[in-house]
């Protein structure tokens, strides 16, 4: 029996010959797919299969909407279909108001489950002190119902057992278990207990990061708990514990230690194969998903090929991230379409009074609603992921509506950010490049501009962890000029996510100025570097 979100509607076929034939037929039609399966920031994955469709949730922390939901038919080609919430909380931290922010905070590692016709996506946030569970009958269209309670259960796994009881296991190093109330309104405190005293033990005594990232599964009557730990001087490591009862006792072992690929769980396919879904820290592009084949030996899942993460997989070839995870946008909206495609997320909660795709047909208008002293404190920066191994983002803005002190353009968002855009200074407009490679923003170039329409481009090179970006401007969209020094991109825990392209406009002197973005176009090729 398989529970905990792994929906195996073909169960275990009694006739092993049929499985063997199906596997041969399937493999004959498959192409070699390379790891990573998604070269973009999709960390903390949690995954289920419902029938022939896989669903995956991930982490985007301070972004809104949050907790992205993706679907796939083959584990390789993923498409954004929904978010679990529009905003996590309506407070100063999530709203970027009163000098507060939620960078690197917000909703962290989620857990996705399907039980008795309902989809469940749970997450937690240290800055709110809450655990959240979102439920829906239709994962792709919603609506979602929110359940929240205290305390915030760190890196928890949500689990529905055969007897109808609902559990969470959570923690770091020392892992605890608790039963939830049937209406999801909170925990049953009397059921809370330590389930594993030292979950890092299979990786040794010299541990830098205690075992966390719990994901629990039940296969053939046994419970399997997946965690990540990090030995000092070593790399991110997968440890697995198993037990006959959900409350233990658990026995554990070190399962995978290669390339730092770790943290995730397991998923089965219709033809009876198993894979582990994990991620790898890969510099400034972020934490990128890998798939690792799983075999079963003596009741244990064995990850990898001879203990290694394979470069290729016997799965369908990727059709590319565009338009599944990222996409270009001409800002033309037909009746009934979303105002913003799902690839877009706001940096913190937006102020919806100050943006529009309808005030001027075919354009995104960003209006300044207040005065901000810094780029990172400004609201309504619209973002989407960068992608590897290389990528390019291009936009065109019209600046007729700018006011003195306004700064608008294209960014690469992280703590050590880069900007290129138009700034109005004492009634005159200039193309500016701002480089925060070392953490503090430095204006490196300013070029006078009289054109009302200006084009901007940012190009990223993540190959072999180069982590270099360059910025360009143009007055005709054809001849490009580089500006400023290359941005040395750095993944920082301050923001805790890979670099993102962003469209921004903020005021430093007076509000209610505006700019119109004609388009945003993303490519997986470089045109200038």
Q: Identify whether residues 306 and 422 lie together within a single domain.
A: no
Three-state SS letters, 171-213:
EECEEEEEEECCCCCCECHHHCEEEECCCCHHHCCCEEEEEEE
Q: What angle do CA 515, 516, 520 make, to 5 degrees?
A: 125
Which one-letter DSSP state was computed for residue 30? -
Nearest Cα neighbor of 350 from 59, 84, 61, 64 is 64
Asked whether residue 346 is domain-assigned, the answer is no
DSSP letter for each residue of 416-466: S-EEEEEEEETTEEEEEEEE-TTSS-EEEEEEE---SEEEEEEEEE-GGG-
Residue numbers of the domain that contains 481:
351-523
**250 C-beta neighbours (distance < 10 Å), count:** 20
Cα 404 versus chain centre, distance: 36
Question: What residues form DSSP beta bridges with 281?
Answer: 287
Torsion angles phi and psi, residue 153, rounded to 5? -95, 105
Asked whether residue 324 is domain-assigned, the answer is no
Q: Identify whether residues 461 and 360 lie together within a single domain.
A: yes
Instruction: Give SS3 for 400.
Output: coil
Asked whether residue 248 is domain-assigned, the answer is yes
Asked whether residue 342 is domain-assigned, the answer is no
Q: Are 360 and 85 in contact (CB under 8 A)?
A: no
Nearest Cα neighbor of 130 from 99, 112, 156, 104 is 156
Which one-letter DSSP state was computed for residue 130? E
Q: Identify whether residues 37 and 119 lie together within a single domain.
A: yes
Q: Identify whether residues 280 and 368 lie together within a single domain.
A: no
Q: Identify whether residues 239 and 385 lie together within a single domain.
A: no
Q: Identify whether residues 383 and 309 lie together within a single domain.
A: no
Asked whether residue 329 is domain-assigned, the answer is no
Q: What angle do CA 41, 44, 48 make, to 5 degrees?
A: 110
Q: Identify whether residues 10 and 145 lie together within a single domain.
A: yes
Q: Identify whether residues 362 and 291 lie together within a single domain.
A: no
Q: Are 277 and 5 in contact (CB under 8 A)?
A: no
Q: In what order do the strands lie in the sheet with 453-461?
A: 355-356, 364-367, 514-523, 390-398, 453-461, 468-474, 481-488
Alpha-carbon distance 197 to 508, whole Å?
53
**Whole-number pLDDT of residue 132:** 98
**Whole-number pLDDT of residue 527:** 86
Q: Is 164 exposed, middle or buried (0-12, 13-18, 19+ CB in 10 A)?
A: exposed
Q: What is the CATH number of the domain that holds 49?
A: 2.115.10.20
Query: Which H/E stretch holds residue 20?
Result: helix 16-28
**Whole-number pLDDT of residue 32:** 62
Among 314, 341, 365, give the residue marking a domain's end: 314
Which one-letter DSSP state was computed for residue 104? T
Q: Identify whether residues 277 and 365 lie together within a single domain.
A: no
Asked whether residue 28 is domain-assigned, the answer is yes
**Where are any strands of DSSP class E within 6-153?**
32-34, 46-50, 53-57, 63-64, 66-72, 79-85, 111-115, 118-125, 130-136, 145-149
pTM of the model: 0.93
Alpha-carbon distance 321 to 387, whole Å?
8
Region of 26 (left: φ > 0; alpha: ψ -120 to 50; beta: rest) is alpha
DSSP letter for each residue of 277-305: EEEEE-GGG-EEEEEEEEEEETTEEEESB
Distance between terminal CA atoms of the chain? 53
Three-state SS letters, 216-280:
EEEECCEEEEEEEEEECCCCCEEEEEEECCCCCCCEEEEEECCCCCEEEEEEECCCCCEEEEEEE
Domain count, the chain: 2
Among 288, 314, 340, give the residue marking a domain's end: 314
Q: What is the CATH number of the domain that holds 436?
A: 2.60.120.200
Alpha-carbon distance 346 to 379, whole Å?
8
Question: What residues form DSSP beta bridges with 471?
Answer: 458, 483
CA dihedral 75, 76, 81, 86 (to 10 degrees): 90
Query: Which H/E stretch holds residue 390?
Result: strand 390-398
Asked whether residue 332 is domain-assigned, the answer is no
Instruction: Give SS3 for 25.
Output: helix
Q: Identify whether residues 284 and 372 lie together within a single domain.
A: no
Query: Which segments of the chain have a pLDDT < 70?
Result: 1-32, 529
Q: Identify whether residues 34 and 94 lie together within a single domain.
A: yes
Q: Identify whether residues 429 and 477 lie together within a single domain.
A: yes
Prior bond of 389 cis (ω within 30°): yes
Asked whether residue 151 is domain-assigned, the answer is yes
């Amino acid at each position: 029996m398989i529970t905990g979100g792994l929906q195996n509607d073909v169960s275990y076929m009694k006739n092993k010959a049929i499985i063997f034939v199906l596997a041969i037929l399937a493999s004959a039609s498959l192409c070699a797919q390379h790891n990573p399966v998604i070269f973009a920031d999709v960390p903390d994955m949690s995954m289920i299969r419902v029938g022939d469709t896989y669903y995956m949730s991930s982490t985007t922390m301070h972004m809104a909407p949050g907790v992205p939901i993706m679907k796939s038919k083959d584990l390789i080609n993923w498409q954004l279909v929904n978010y679990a919430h529009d905003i996590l909380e309506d407070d100063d931290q999530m709203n970027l108001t009163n000098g507060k922010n939620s960078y690197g905070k917000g909703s962290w590692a989620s857990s996705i489950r399907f039980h008795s016709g309902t989809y469940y996506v749970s997450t937690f946030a240290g800055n709110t002190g809450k655990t959240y569970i979102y439920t829906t009958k239709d994962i792709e269209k919603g609506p979602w119902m929110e359940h929240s309670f205290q305390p915030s259960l760190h890196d928890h796994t949500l689990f529905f057992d055969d007897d109808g009881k609902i559990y969470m296991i959570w923690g770091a190093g020392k892992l605890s278990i608790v039963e939830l109330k049937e209406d999801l309104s909170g925990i049953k405190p009397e059921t809370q207990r330590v389930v594993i005293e030292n979950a890092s033990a299979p990786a040794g005594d010299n541990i830098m990061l205690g075992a966390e990232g719990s994901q629990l599964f039940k296969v053939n009557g046994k419970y399997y708990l997946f965690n990540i730990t990090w030995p000092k001087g070593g790399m991110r490591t997968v440890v697995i514990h198993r037990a006959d009862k959900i409350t233990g006792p658990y026995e554990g072992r070190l399962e995978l230690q290669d390339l730092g690929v770790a943290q995730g769980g397991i998923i089965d396919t219709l033809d009876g194969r198993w894979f582990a879904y994990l991620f790898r820290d890969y510099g400034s592009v972020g934490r990128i998903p890998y798939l690792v084949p799983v075999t079963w030996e003596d009741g244990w899942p064995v990850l990898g090929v001879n203990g290694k993460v394979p470069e290729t997989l016997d799965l369908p070839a990727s059709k590319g991230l565009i338009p599944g995870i990222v996409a270009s946008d001409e800002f033309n909206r037909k009746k009934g379409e979303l105002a913003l495609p799902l690839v877009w997320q706001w940096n913190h909660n937006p102020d919806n009074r100050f943006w529009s795709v309808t005030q001027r047909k075919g354009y995104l208008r960003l209006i300044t609603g207040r005065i901000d002293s810094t780029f990172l404190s400004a609201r309504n920066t619209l973002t989407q992921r960068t992608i590897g191994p290389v990528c390019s983002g291009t936009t065109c803005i019209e600046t007729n509506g700018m006011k003195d002190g306004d700064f608008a353009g294209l960014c690469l968002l992280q703590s050590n950010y880069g900007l290129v855009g138009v700034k109005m200074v004492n009634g005159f407009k200039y193309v500016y490049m701002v480089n925060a490679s070392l953490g503090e923003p430095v204006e490196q170039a300013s070029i006078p501009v009289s054109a009302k329409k200006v084009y901007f481009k940012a190009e990223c090179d993540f190959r072999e962890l180069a982590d270099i970006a360059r910025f360009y401007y143009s007055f005709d969209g054809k001849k490009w000029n580089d500006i400023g020094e290359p941005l040395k991109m750095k993944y920082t825990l301050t923001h805790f996510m890979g670099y993102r392209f962003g469209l921004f406009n903020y005021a430093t002197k007076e509000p209610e100025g505006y700019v119109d973005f004609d388009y945003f176009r993303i490519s997986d090729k470089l045109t200038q570097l």
